[in-house]
Amino acid sequence: MMQKEEFPLKKVCLICAKGSLEDVYAALVMANGAVMEGIETKVFFTFFGLDAITKRQMNKLHTATVGNPAMRMPNGWAFPSLLGAIPGVESGVSAMMRSQMEQLDIPTVPEFLEMITAGGGEIYACKLAVDMFKLKKEDLSSEVKDIITVGEFYGLCGGQGTQIIFT
């Protein structure tokens, strides 16, 4: 009989390319969860994902109220797309979601970034996207370790027991 060998996960490299509340939190929860398990963790923010590490945007992430089939009213009814298109609705819904997350002890975005780096995780911004959005290092959270190229990020992803996760 074949002996089943287990290779524990040693390092995770996460790529966050989207800037909606749920996409950013998926990356942050996965990253912090890995740090909590003692797994080496690197997170690479690119394209709209950069909003999560941009000081001006990080506290104002939205969830889409239009074109989001999983969006529901608090009572479980379908959320009409036309309602979602009304100015202010998306902000209101997003603020509501953020307050519900606070009640569940889910950290805010800046706090999450701090928690990840406090545990030894590393946060990077994509150079191409930073240039494209005309951002500078000082526009980004102080938790960002560096602005690096895709090649440099892959260089950090080596080693046995490493996984790259794209959220």
Partner 1 sequence: MAQKTYAGVVLDVTDEGYMTDKNLWTKEIAIAIAEEENISLNDSHFAVIDFLRDRVAKGETLTIRSIGKSGIVDIKGFYQLFPGAPLKLATRISGLPKPVSCV
- We find the least distance from the C-beta atom of residue 16 to partner 1, in angstroms, to be 17
Q: Between residues 4 and 134, which has the closer beta carbon with respect to partner 1?
A: 4
Helix runs in the chain, H state only: 21-36, 81-84, 89-103, 109-118, 127-132, 150-156
Least CB distance to partner 1 at residue 46 (A):
24
Nearer to partner 1, 111 or 131 (CB): 111
Residue 125 backbone dihedrals phi, psi, to 5 degrees: -110, 145
Q: How many CB atoms lie within 10 A of CB 44?
A: 26
48 is written with which tokens? Answer: 């709209």
Closest CA to 56 of 167, 4, 115, 134: 134
The residue count of the chain comes to 167
Smaller CB separation from partner 1, 38 or 155:
38
Tokens at residue 139, please?
Answer: 């526009």
CB of 36 to partner 1, least distance (A): 6
Compare residues 58 and 116 and give the one whose CB is closer to partner 1.
Answer: 116
Q: What residues line the site for partner 1 (CB under 8 A)?
A: 29, 32-33, 36-38, 105-107, 111, 114-115, 118-120
Shortest gap between Cβ of 114 and partner 1 (angstroms)?
7
